[in-house]
Structure 1
């Protein structure tokens, strides 16, 4: 006689909570996509319908690309995010290796400072960074958008936790083979830490691709604006916000991040969870 298996009440509540949370997170994106294909007359209607009565997507997306140099803004975002990520890995990986595998005076104090830095929002440093940028003459350049983010406390913490899971015997064997400490970092530790690097890369790119506060302070030329700052071009004091083209431009800006997350989601989970495994 066959018996039917039923989900436990705990499992039902857990899945219900996950579905509700996912719906709350996705609702703004669904609303954004809906507005991006609607004509102005349907955007402010009291009743909601995802699909418009009159499809206006071609007009909105065409204006999103032609009304402002959106492609240029996205290219700026690629340049800035790629440069920040490359420099962060170059700085954070050796620092994390030193905190994880080397014995020296003050190591625990330095790691405590890294943890304290994790608690400080980057906006706290905006004024000192602005004054420093003005003093050394880097404002309104790519350097002003890149330099403040080169040292990432989160990157150091994540890499350090991953490096701690690598057996010390691997490091000792590499030293016996004649590798220098930097050689161990780049030729052994970095290849083994690829899941953590991919996870950190996604977090870094998403954070800086969406950053508005610091670019709003650091640059003023349109040729240097990253995507979030470029979206302000659709704001008009005379005619008001053009919500259709604005939402279309926002969809185009978000699309690369969405694709990147879907491609790298397994590596993100592996990279984050592996740092929690003790040796």
Structure 2
């Protein structure tokens, strides 16, 4: 019996490891390509380890010709601003839908679910016209405002808050706390796994977003990391894909480090959301 269980666990881990390797394969190839000279990228034989180590030249050219830290700072400001506003709106909304009783609550939740079906490309044109008339194109506000309300965040927090004991909320009300105090001082501290999981989803989505910054941003002053790589390809790197891969590695490295730092909370948030 023990041998059968060991064999089953080994097969399960092997299968999970295989699919994990499939998911990581593009990133592994990108890192490998960033260390090669250009002529090695287009050979018929595929080898991850470079024959001639060219990482110093590739990465040195990126740091010499690209304002890397400026683009990273723009990404940090935009993603941080979006996340703060999303939490400010989504946490109270999720709490209200999960713990408060009011007429039409299920209809409101249904509207939230319908909002998940609307792709971000649909409101792009009216938002661009509105921002143009308001004179806020090519600013941080133009990048942050369209994403301040996330229906996915409302749905995620609503599902997580439903799993919290009602007695916790009732005890806080008996202590005289207001609903706002319950949300920020009682409910949110118990929802850090869900908040961490959503933070990773949000930061990855907006850090890698190219569609909206390409519409409202002109020039490198407010360019996000993804847009900065595009400018680098057009202006400096041309078709030198080895250097472009080096730039892509630098721009995506903060996301990898953030996930590795918060992966335990991320897994907890995904595993415990919607249990009730």
TM-score with structure 1 setting the length: 0.92
Q: Hey, what's the Cα distance between the residues in 2 that align with 1:35 and 1:264?
A: 28
Alignment of structure 1 residues 70-149 onto 2, 5 Å = 70-149=68-147
With over 3 angstroms needed to count, the CA separation of the structure-2 counterparts of 1:53 and 1:190, relative to structure 1, is: same
Q: Hey, what's the Cα distance between the residues in 2 that align with 1:113 and 1:245?
A: 46
Q: Hey, what's the Cα distance between the residues in 1 that align with 2:9 and 2:83?
A: 39
Q: Hey, what's the Cα distance between the residues in 2 that align with 1:203 and 1:4?
A: 39
1:179 counterpart residue number: 177
Q: Hey, what's the Cα distance between the residues in 2 that align with 1:219 and 1:189?
A: 38
Deviation at 1:9, TM superposition (A): 8.2
1:205 counterpart residue number: 203
Instruction: Structure 2: give runs of 5+ residues left out of the alignment.
Output: none
Q: Hey, what's the Cα distance between the residues in 1 that align with 2:180 and 2:237?
A: 57
Match of 1:66 among 57, 64, 67: 64
1:243 counterpart residue number: 241
Q: Hey, what's the Cα distance between the residues in 1 that align with 2:258 and 2:114?
A: 30
With over 3 angstroms needed to count, the CA separation of the structure-2 counterparts of 1:61 and 1:15, relative to structure 1, is: same
Q: SS at the partner of 1:258? A: helix
With over 3 angstroms needed to count, the CA separation of the structure-2 counterparts of 1:123 and 1:9, relative to structure 1, is: farther
Whether contact under 8 Å (1:33, 1:247) holds in the other structure is yes
Does 2:38 match 1:40? yes
Q: SS at the partner of 2:112? A: helix
Deviation at 1:233, TM superposition (A): 2.2
Q: Hey, what's the Cα distance between the residues in 1 that align with 2:88 and 2:136?
A: 22
Whether contact under 8 Å (1:234, 1:241) holds in the other structure is no
Instruction: Structure 1: give runs of 5+ residues left out of the alignment.
Output: none
Deviation at 1:63, TM superposition (A): 1.0
2:18 counterpart residue number: 20
2:226 counterpart residue number: 228
Number of aligned residues: 276
2:50 counterpart residue number: 52
Q: Hey, what's the Cα distance between the residues in 2 that align with 1:199 and 1:237?
A: 37
Deviations 1:182-225 (A, max 9, x none): 11111111111111111111111111111111110011131100
With over 3 angstroms needed to count, the CA separation of the structure-2 counterparts of 1:77 and 1:277, relative to structure 1, is: same
Deviations 1:116-157 (A, max 9, x none): 111222122211221221122221100010001110111111
Deviation at 1:251, TM superposition (A): 0.6
Q: Hey, what's the Cα distance between the residues in 1 that align with 2:236 and 2:77?
A: 33
With over 3 angstroms needed to count, the CA separation of the structure-2 counterparts of 1:131 and 1:19, relative to structure 1, is: same
- CA-based RMSD: 2.0
With over 3 angstroms needed to count, the CA separation of the structure-2 counterparts of 1:52 and 1:114, relative to structure 1, is: same
Whether contact under 8 Å (2:237, 2:243) holds in the other structure is no
Deviations 1:56-111 (A, max 9, x none): 10110011112121211111000101111111111111111111111111111111
With over 3 angstroms needed to count, the CA separation of the structure-2 counterparts of 1:239 and 1:108, relative to structure 1, is: closer
Q: Hey, what's the Cα distance between the residues in 2 that align with 1:237 and 1:198?
A: 37
With over 3 angstroms needed to count, the CA separation of the structure-2 counterparts of 1:46 and 1:190, relative to structure 1, is: same
